[in-house]
C-alpha cells in the first residue's frame, strides 16, 4: 500500500523564489536562509519520494473572492506555474497523479470532508517556492505532486483542529491506495508576518519558536489554538500556519525531528522549516 513516511514544513515567501530565479542566493542577505535548507536537499535525495501531497494556499491566482474553496484538491495531469503579475516563474511544470488524487478525493469526501475537486490549475509561489527550496533547480521535478489548497486568505478560514483532522483523513486515504508508493506530505506558509495596516512588518520570534516546538511534540493541543491568537500574536498572515497542521495530522503521533531551521527576515517575513520522519 501507499504510505506517508515523512513530512516537511516550510515557508513559501515569494521573494525566496525571486532570489533563486535571479541567482542571488549566496549574497549576504540570503545566504543564511538558504543554508538552512542544505540538509533537506541532501535528505530528500536519499528519501526519493514518489509523490508529495503539497498543502499550500493560492494567493488570488487560481481562486479569487468570487470562488474560494475551504479545501481543494487538484486532480489534473500537469500544472503550470502561474503568472502572478510579473510572468510565470522559470521552473518546470508540476506533474500530477490523477488516479491517486482521485482516489484521495473519493476517500476524503466519503470521510465527510467537502473537498473541491479541481482539474485545471495554475500553481503560484505558494507551491513552487517549496519545491525549489527542497529540490533546487532541476530540469524536471523528481516526483509527482498533488496540490491541496487551503483557504487562509478570505475569512472565515478553517480551524486548526479541522486542518489537523484533514491530515488524518488524508493519511487514511493514502493508506487505502493499492500501490506501493513512498509518499510525503508538506505543509507550507507562515511563519509570523503581516503585510498591511499599522502592524505591517510584524514578526514574533517567541510565537514562532513555540509553534515549532509544539507542532513536533504537542500537536493535539496546538490544533486547539484559536484563530484570534494567531492574528494577535503572529499577524494577519500568520494564520497560514494552520496548513502545517494538515501535514502534522497526517504523520504518526510520535515523529523524529531531523531538521529545524528558523530565520528572520526574508523580505518582511519570518521563515520556518522542519523535516519530520515517522517513528
Annotated catalytic sites, by residue? 125, 193
Beta bridge mates, 73: 117, 148
144-150 vs 51-56, strand pairing mode? parallel
CA 252 vs CA 6, 114, 190: distances in Å: 9, 24, 23
Q: How far apart are CA 5 and CA 19, in angstroms?
A: 30
φ, ψ at 41 (rounded to 5°)? -65, -40
Spell out the residues 6+ positions from residue 217 whose beta carbon is closer than 8 angstroms to its own: none
CA 278 vs CA 86, 168, 216: distances in Å: 39, 14, 11
φ, ψ at 149 (rounded to 5°)? -95, 140
- Counting every residue written for the chain, the total comes to 279
Q: How far apart are CA 244 and CA 57, in angstroms?
A: 11
Task: Report residue 1 CA to chain centroid gap.
Answer: 24
Q: How far apart are CA 128 and CA 131, in angstroms?
A: 5
Q: 197-227: b or e for each residue (b if 16 or more CB lie within 10 Å)?
A: eeeeebbbeebbeebbebbbeebeebbebeb
Amino acid at each position: 500500500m501507499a504510505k506517508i513516511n515523512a513530512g516537511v514544513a516550510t515557508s513559501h515567501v515569494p521573494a525566496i523564489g525571486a532570489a533563486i530565479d535571479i541567482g542571488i542566493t549566496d549574497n549576504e542577505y540570503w545566504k543564511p536562509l538558504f543554508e538552512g535548507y542544505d540538509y533537506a536537499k541532501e535528505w530528500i535525495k536519499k528519501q526519493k519520494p514518489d509523490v508529495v501531497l503539497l498543502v499550500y494556499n493560492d494567493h488570488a491566482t487560481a481562486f479569487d473572492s468570487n470562488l474560494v474553496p475551504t479545501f481543494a484538491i487538484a486532480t489534473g495531469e500537469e500544472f503550470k506555474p502561474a503568472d502572478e503579475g510579473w510572468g510565470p516563474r522559470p521552473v518546470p511544470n508540476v506533474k500530477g497523479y490523477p488516479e491517486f488524487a482521485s482516489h484521495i478525493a473519493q476517500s476524503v469526501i466519503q470521510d465527510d470532508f467537502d473537498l473541491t475537486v479541481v482539474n485545471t490549475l495554475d500553481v503560484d509561489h505558494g507551491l513552487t517556492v517549496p519545491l525549489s527550496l527542497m529540490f533546487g533547480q532541476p530540469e524536471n521535478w523528481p516526483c509527482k505532486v498533488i496540490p491541496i489548497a487551503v483557504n487562509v486568505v478570505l475569512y472565515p478560514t478553517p480551524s486548526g483542529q479541522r486542518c489537523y483532522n484533514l491530515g488524518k483523513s488524508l493519511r487514511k486515504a493514502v493508506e487505502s491506495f493499492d500501490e506501493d508508493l513512498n509518499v510525503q506530505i508538506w505543509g507550507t506558509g507562515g511563519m509570523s508576518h503581516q503585510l498591511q495596516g499599522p502592524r505591517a512588518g510584524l514578526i514574533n520570534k517567541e510565537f514562532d519558536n513555540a509553534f515549532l516546538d509544539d507542532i513536533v511534540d504537542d500537536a493535539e493541543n496546538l490544533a486547539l489554538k484559536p484563530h484570534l491568537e494567531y492574528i494577535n500574536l503572529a499577524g494577519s498572515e500568520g494564520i497560514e500556519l494552520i496548513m502545517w497542521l494538515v501535514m502534522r495530522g497526517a504523520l504518526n503521533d510520535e515523529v523524529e525531528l531531523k531538521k529545524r531551521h528558523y530565520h528572520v527576515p526574508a523580505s518582511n517575513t519570518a521563515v520556518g522549516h522542519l523535516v519530520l520522519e515517522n517513528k
